[in-house]
Each structure stands twice: as C-alpha cells, then as structure tokens.
C-alpha cells in the first residue's frame, strides 16, 4: 500500500497566492512612489502588513520583483501582437502601438526603474535573467514582419523585425 504524505499539497495555497500578489503590487507601488533604490524589502513587507522574512521567502530580493514585471509585460505584449497576419507595415505599426499600450499604464513605475533597467547588472534588460522576456518581444516583432502576406525580401525581414 502506498504511503500517504502528510501536510499540504504541493504549490501555494489560495491565501499564499493572494499574499504573494499583495506583496508584488505593494513593491511595484513603492518603487513608483519612492524609486527602486530607495525602497527596501523591509518597507515593502511593512506596507503589506507582513514580516520581512515572508517577503524574502516569496521574492528573495527586489530584482525578483522586477524580473516578474518583465515577464508579465513581455508575456502580455507577445500575446497581443501578430495574432492575425496583415501587411508588414501595418503589423509593425500594431507592434509599436501595442508596446505603448502595454507599457503606458506603468510609465511612472518604469521611470523609477530606469536605473536598474539600463544597468549592466543582473536585473538589467540586457542581462541573462531577462533573456526570455527579450526573446518574447523580439519574436512578436518578427511575427509582425515575417508572417505578413507582403513580407519584404529575406535580407530585410529580420532587420525590420528588430527595429
């Protein structure tokens, strides 16, 4: 007879997911209000009404919050771009418009993160940690150009897609 393990099932409980979401939203709000560098994990935890240890347990550091933001924004953007093939110029225009639509609501937050975004460190937009997010965005632009019924010649497709 198979042994039944005691305890909770794997994964986070609904309460745990709600707590994590609250910590994430609190962190983003404080980054926008105070700036990334000025915000501490302790402040985020306090504003969310939990211990600093719990904040570390869920995120481990401020960079983890920023990486999650990158992932969410790039995933949303990728899902919204290039679903329907259209002339390549219209596809590129759509890709640019969707980029503004996805990023626009987060303008003040992204401004507060500019220092970390352009840094050569682990949380920067060109770091290894953000490779998948960058790839999603580049793939969306490539779809907009390369799947167009009037896609330009092979030599121009990828350069146009990487504008």
Please tell me which residue, 34 or 125, carries the higher pLDDT value.
34
Q: What is the DSSP letter of 106?
A: G
Residue 163, both tokens: 């504008």
Residue 37, both tokens: 């560098």
Phi and psi for 81 in degrees, rounded to 5?
A: -110, 135
| Residue 39 · residue 30 · CB < 8 Å | yes
**Torsional class of 44: left (φ above 0), alpha (ψ -120 to 50), beta (otherwise):** alpha
Mean pLDDT of the chain: 87
d(C-alpha 127, C-alpha 121), whole Å:
7
Q: What pTM did the predictor assign?
A: 0.83
CA angle at residue 42 from 65 to 53, to 5 degrees? 85
Give 27-57 pLDDT, tens digit per residue: 999 999 999 999 999 999 999 999 999 999 9
| Residue 150 · residue 87 · CB < 8 Å | yes
d(C-alpha 27, C-alpha 40), whole Å:
9
Walk me through the domains of the chain, giving residue ranges and CATH numbers.
13-60 (1.10.10.60), 62-163 (no CATH)
d(C-alpha 17, C-alpha 145), whole Å:
38
pLDDT the model gives residue 36:
94
| Residue 94 · residue 140 · CB < 8 Å | no
- Is 16 a residue whose pLDDT tops 70? yes
- Is 162 a residue whose pLDDT tops 80? no
For the chain, the straight-line distance linking the first and the last C-alpha, in angstroms and rounded, comes to: 61
């Amino acid at each position: 007879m198979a042994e039944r393990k005691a305890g909770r099932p794997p994964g986070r409980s609904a309460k745990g997911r709600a707590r994590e979401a609250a910590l994430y939203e609190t962190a983003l709000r404080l980054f926008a209000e105070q700036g990334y560098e000025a915000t501490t994990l302790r402040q985020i935890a306090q504003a969310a009404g939990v211990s600093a240890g719990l904040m570390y347990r869920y995120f481990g550091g401020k960079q983890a919050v920023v990486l999650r933001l990158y992932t969410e924004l790039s995933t949303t953007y990728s899902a919204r771009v290039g679903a329907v093939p259209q002339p390549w110029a219209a596809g590129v225009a759509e890709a640019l418009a969707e980029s503004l639509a996805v990023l626009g609501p987060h303008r003040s937050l992204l401004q507060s993160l500019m220092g970390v975004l352009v840094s050569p460190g682990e949380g920067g937009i060109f770091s290894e940690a953000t490779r998948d997010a960058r790839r999603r965005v580049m793939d969306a632009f490539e779809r907009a150009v390369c799947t167009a019924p009037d896609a330009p010649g092979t030599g121009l497709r990828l350069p146009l897609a990487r504008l």
